[in-house]
A and B are shown apart, each in its own frame.
Chain A
Amino acid sequence: MSDPADPPITFYRLQACPFCERVTRTLQELGLEYRSRFVEPLHSKRDVVKRVAGVRTVPVIVDENTGVTMAESANIVDYLESTYGDGATDAETGTAVASGDGGAE
């Protein structure tokens, strides 16, 4: 679910992508408002994701609260939980696009 107003978190996702659904679940568990932007299965058709995050994989989130743009589901889930979960530390800043096996399509 996304709010009709402008929520601070934009979530680039692919329909039925398990890594994206993992991020969806975390966003919902934390009660965060977000706007989903759905892209196509073909990486070559994902110019908007490349432009925003420098990669062609999803999920990607852009969090205007903190200025963070992040790819790879494991990293995103860690970020959301540490930023917005119980016992959240100070919000991270900067752009983080992780490498490695973080869970993305």
Chain B
Amino acid sequence: MLEFDVVELGEANHPEPGDEAAEFTRPLVNDEFWEDRSLSELSSEGDGPTILVFTPMLGSFVGKYVWDELRDRGWDDRAGRVVGVTISTPYAVKRFLEDEACPFPFFSDPANAVAEAYGVDHELDDMEGISEPRPAFFALDSDLQVQGAWVAREWPEFPDYDDLEDELGLE
């Protein structure tokens, strides 16, 4: 047994199933370019739910573990679309997509205002001035109504991915 206490992040005041998720517009980064896109525009394209995935900044092991898992589980074929939210810049996201063969686009939000709007922001100890999202997952329908949610309570904490897939309604 490890002899230390895991850091608690505490409760998050995040949207629950049935709530309407906050609309936002940010540069959406894919493996070729980035352009401003709104969440509502994205979620109304095609069929199926939108899975919004918040992770710590790209380069962190927490971010890597989550995105490796989602890629390996083939989430890109199992929802309408899976989209990340990160404080990493568009340039850093592009590099990550390339280096990790990551098939998911990301909203780049260096000011972390989207995580604040979703109640999942987290001030990093002794990285003065940097706030980022804690790991969090939201399934949204085309009207941005929350269908399922999971938010980390510890630092770090990872979901049970089988349970998470049930919660988010993945195929």
* Residues of chain A having any CB pair with chain B under 8 Å: 2, 4, 12, 35-40, 45, 47-48
Is the beta-carbon distance between B33 and A38 smaller than 8 angstroms?
yes
Q: Does B25 interact with chain A (Cβ within 8 Å)?
A: yes
Is the beta-carbon distance between A40 and B41 smaller than 8 angstroms?
no
Is the beta-carbon distance between B32 and A48 smaller than 8 angstroms?
yes
- Nearest CB on A from B80, distance (A): 19
* Complex Cα spacing A38 to B33, Å: 5
* Complex Cα spacing A35 to B27, Å: 11
Q: Does B61 interact with chain A (Cβ within 8 Å)?
A: no
Is the beta-carbon distance between B94 and A40 smaller than 8 angstroms?
yes
- Nearest CB on A from B43, distance (A): 13
- Nearest CB on B from A89, distance (A): 30
Q: What is the total of A-B residue contacts with beta carbons within 8 Å?
A: 27
Chain A residues with Cβ under 8 A from B94's Cβ? 40, 45
- Nearest CB on B from A32, distance (A): 16
Is the beta-carbon distance between B32 and A38 smaller than 8 angstroms?
no
Chain A residues with Cβ under 8 A from B35's Cβ? 2, 35-38
Q: Which of A2, A4, A37 contacts B33 (CB 8 A)?
A: A37
Chain B residues with Cβ under 8 A from A47's Cβ? 32
What would 14 more interface pairs be, CB under 8 Å, given A4-B41, A37-B35, A39-B33?
Answer: A4-B25, A4-B36, A4-B38, A12-B33, A35-B35, A35-B36, A36-B35, A37-B34, A38-B27, A38-B35, A39-B32, A40-B91, A47-B32, A48-B32
- Nearest CB on B from A15, distance (A): 9
* Complex Cα spacing A48 to B33, Å: 8
Chain B residues with Cβ under 8 A from A48's Cβ? 32-33
Q: Which 8 pairs of residues, A with B, have the shortest CB-CB distance?
A: A48-B32, A37-B33, A37-B35, A4-B38, A38-B34, A39-B33, A2-B36, A48-B33
Q: Does B49 interact with chain A (Cβ within 8 Å)?
A: no
Chain A residues with Cβ under 8 A from B41's Cβ? 4
